[in-house]
Amino acid sequence: MKELRGKEVAEHIRQEVLAGAERFEKAMGRKPRLVILRCGEKPADLAYERNALKKAEQFGLEAAAEQFPEDVADSVFQHRFFELNEDRRTDGILLLRPLPKQLNEGFLISSMDAEKDLDGISPVNAAGVYLGTESFAPCTAEAVMELLHFYGIETAGRHVVIIGRSAVVGKPLSMLLLEENATVTICHSHTEELQKVCRKADILISAAGKPRFVTEEFIRRGTVVIDVGMNAGPDGHLCGDVDFERCRKKASAMTPVPGGVGAITTAVLMKHLLQAAEGNLL
C-alpha cells in the first residue's frame, strides 16, 4: 500500500510559487499580498491565522492579519472590508468564518471581488467551478486534485465516490472531477446501503467529519482512499475519517491523517494568492 503524503505535494507547489513570486516582485516592486480578517479570539481561527502567516513567508509572499473585536459593528467591519476589496495592492482577502452574527456574512461573500476570493466562496467563483471556467475553487477541494495529479492517479473513466456534500469539499470536488472525466457519486447521511455504494469506488474520498468512520467494509481491494477528514478521536489525538490501520490491507494507496490532504490546503491558498496577483499584471 502506497502512502500519499501531502508534504511532498505542498513542497512541489511551494517551489512553483516561490519562482512566480520572485518574478512578480521584480515586475511590480512588491510581493503578492494577502489580508486576513478575523473577529474575536477563537482558538481555531488563531491557529489558522498563524499557519497562513507562516506559510506566506515560506512561499515568498506577504500576509497581514487584521483583528476586530467579537462585537464589532457591521458598519465598521464593512468599511474596512470594502477598502481592501477595492485596494489594488491587496491581492487576496481571507475571511475567517463563521463571522459573528451581527455581521452580514452573506452580503460580504457575495460582494467580494472574485479575483481576491482565494478560498472560492463567492458566487462568481462557485459558478465558475460549476461551469468549468477559470475560477478559484475551495482550497481543500483543489488540494485533493493537486494530490491526485502529483501522484499520477488517473481519474478519467474511473468511478469516484465522495462521502460528504459540503459546499467547500464534496460539491466543488465533484465538479472538478467531472471536468477530468471521472464518474462521480456523492454520498451523504441519507444514502442507503452506504458501504455497498462505496465498495464500487475505484477512488473513495471521505469528507464526512466522523472519526475513523470508514472501515475495511467500505472498500474493495485495490481502491485508492483519500481522507479529507480532520477529527479529534476518542483518545484526543488527531485522526481522519478513515480507520487507516483497518483499511491499509485492502487499499492500493491512502492518505494519512495528519500529513495528507490537510498539508496541501494552505499551499493551494498561497498558489491562489500568486495567481490573483498575476491577474493584476494583465
Residues 258 and 163 in one domain: yes
Residues 180 and 217 in one domain: yes
Which string of b and e fits 253-270 if b means at least 16 CB within 10 Å?
bbbbbeebbbbbbbbbbb
CB 120 within 8 A of CB 139: yes
Range of the domain at 38: 29-113
Residues 143 and 109 in one domain: no
- The model's pLDDT over 3-35, given as tens digits with 9 standing for 90+, comes to 999 999 999 999 999 999 999 999 999 999 999
**Would you state the torsion angle of the CA atoms of residues 256, 258, 260, 264, taken in this order, to the nearest 10 degrees?**
180
Residues 157 and 259 in one domain: yes
Residue 105 placed within a domain: yes
Residues 56 and 95 in one domain: yes
Domain boundary among 113, 128, 163: 113
155, pLDDT greater than 80: yes
Residue 79 placed within a domain: yes
Peptide bond into 98 cis (omega under 30): yes
Residues 74 and 151 in one domain: no
pTM listed for this prediction: 0.95
Residues 71 and 169 in one domain: no
The rounded percent of the chain whose pLDDT value lies above 70 is 99
Residue 277 placed within a domain: no
Residues 155 and 221 in one domain: yes
Greater pLDDT, 15 or 279: 15
- The model's pLDDT over 54-65, given as tens digits with 9 standing for 90+, comes to 999 999 999 999
Residue 21 placed within a domain: no
Question: Please, what sign has the CA dihedral across residues 188, 117, 180, 240?
Answer: negative
Residue 133 placed within a domain: no
281, pLDDT greater than 60: no
Residue 34 placed within a domain: yes
d(CA 115, CA 112): 8
Residues 101 and 153 in one domain: no
Residues 101 and 206 in one domain: no
Q: How confident is the model at residue 282 (pLDDT cuts 50, 70, 90)?
A: very low
The rounded percent of the chain whose pLDDT value lies above 90 is 96
Strand pairing report for 224-227 and 203-206: parallel
Residue 126 placed within a domain: no
Residues 174 and 64 in one domain: no
CB 85 within 8 A of CB 116: yes
- The model's pLDDT over 169-205, given as tens digits with 9 standing for 90+, comes to 999 999 999 999 999 999 999 999 999 999 999 999 9
- According to the model, what pLDDT value does residue 232 have? 84
Q: What mean pLDDT comes out for the span 248-270?
A: 96
Residue 4 placed within a domain: no
- According to the model, what pLDDT value does residue 280 have? 65
Would you tell me how many other CB atoms lie within 10 Å of the CB of residue 69? 12
Residues 57 and 91 in one domain: yes
d(CA 238, CA 231): 6
| Total structural domains within the chain | 2
Question: Which CATH number belongs to the domain containing residue 154 in this structure?
Answer: 3.40.50.720
Question: Which CATH number belongs to the domain containing residue 75 in this structure?
Answer: 3.40.50.10860
